[in-house]
């Protein structure tokens, strides 16, 4: 089974919910596995036990020891026992519980449908190469090697700039004054980075510098005031297609599912209910019940 995509697992799915959703039609699917137990006459299917074992151990049923199998089966039986009692207590009539069950059911159905849909449309080499080209085109074209001295006050940053102008060494000032614990001890060295890795004000300032040049006015960010020196620049070299080809398939699968959902939504009739309208509908239902109660009582008397 392929990895779940796009639709998140909303709620942890219990074995009870999975049993109902995994009933197979004869001829459409492999023959069902033998049952493993019954609880109050209700059968625990082999499929349900397999799912339970996988969820608890991340192993296949045939890979667990006899002792583990016994313990896992007992825990699943306990779940069925508790579930049966919950049904007697009409826990499912609680609106929140009913809503969670419905979301679990829909989430499982949707994920299964999407898995089948994606399997039926595997990406071709041409599709993967087109996605690779699109990704490469969106990459930054240049990366920077820069150093900075970060201080709290603008006046301190101005003093740093003045000292640099008098011949002070940038690394020495960074080690002495910078409040950036990572780069400060390295003489302010930030190593190589692309513009998108830094806050906009910092990246914009770096992009305006020439190699070996430092900012003549402090650069303010949420971290404080920076004095920045550009050490070097170089073009970004993207990884080769063969290196990343396997990582492109999931991206195309997500797009495929997204487009599929869009097409389904366009074909569906979706109407959103405003909060006030929803509240009014609930009030109307309550009023109908209130008015109907006396009439029902009177009819019963007669």
Residue with the two structure tokens 């069925």 = 80
Tokens of 167: 């011949």
**Would you give per-residue pLDDT tens digits along the chain (302 residues)?**
333 333 333 223 333 333 334 444 444 577 899 999 999 999 999 999 999 999 999 999 999 999 999 999 999 999 999 999 999 999 999 999 999 999 999 999 999 999 999 999 999 999 999 999 999 999 999 999 999 999 999 999 999 999 999 999 999 999 999 999 999 999 999 999 999 999 999 999 999 999 999 999 999 999 999 999 999 999 999 999 999 999 999 999 999 999 999 999 999 999 999 887 656 666 666 655 555 555 555 555 55
Distance CA 214, CA 205 (A): 9
Nearest to 45 by CA among 12, 80, 86: 80
Tell me the pTM: 0.62
Q: 15-120 architecture in CATH?
A: Orthogonal Bundle (1.10)
Q: Which residue has the tokens 């608890």?
A: 56
Task: Look at domain 140-235 and name its CATH class.
Answer: alpha beta
SS3 44: strand
């Amino acid at each position: 089974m392929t990895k779940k995509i796009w639709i998140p697992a909303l709620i942890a799915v219990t074995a009870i919910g999975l049993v109902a959703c995994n009933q197979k039609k004869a001829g459409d699917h492999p023959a069902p596995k033998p049952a493993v137990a019954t609880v109050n006459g209700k059968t625990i299917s082999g499929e349900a036990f397999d799912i339970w074992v996988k969820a608890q151990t991340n192993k296949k049923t045939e890979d667990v020891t006899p002792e583990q199998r016994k313990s896992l089966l007992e825990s699943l039986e306990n779940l069925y026992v508790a579930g049966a009692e919950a049904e007697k207590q009409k826990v499912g009539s609680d609106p929140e519980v009913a809503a969670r069950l419905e979301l679990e059911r829909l989430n499982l159905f949707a994920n299964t449908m999407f898995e089948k849909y994606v399997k039926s449309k595997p990406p071709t080499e041409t599709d993967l190469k087109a996605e690779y080209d699109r990704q490469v085109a969106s990459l930054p074209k240049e990366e920077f090697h820069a150093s900075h001295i970060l201080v709290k006050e603008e006046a301190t940053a101005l003093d740093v700039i003045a000292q640099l102008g008098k011949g002070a060494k940038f690394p020495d000032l960074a080690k002495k004054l910078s409040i950036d614990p990572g780069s400060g001890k390295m003489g302010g060295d930030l190593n190589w980075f692309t513009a998108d890795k830094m806050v906009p004000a910092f990246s914009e300032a770096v992009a305006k510098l020439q190699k070996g040049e430092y900012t003549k006015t402090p650069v303010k960010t949420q971290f404080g005031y920076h004095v920045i020196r550009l050490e070097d620049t170089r073009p970004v070299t993207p990884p080769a297609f063969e290196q990343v080809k396997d990582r492109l398939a999931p991206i195309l699968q997500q797009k495929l599912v997204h487009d599929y959902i869009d097409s389904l939504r366009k074909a569906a009739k979706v109407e959103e209910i405003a909060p006030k309208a929803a509240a009014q509908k609930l009030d109307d239902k309550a009023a109908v019940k209130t008015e109907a109660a006396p009439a029902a009582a009177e009819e019963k008397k007669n």
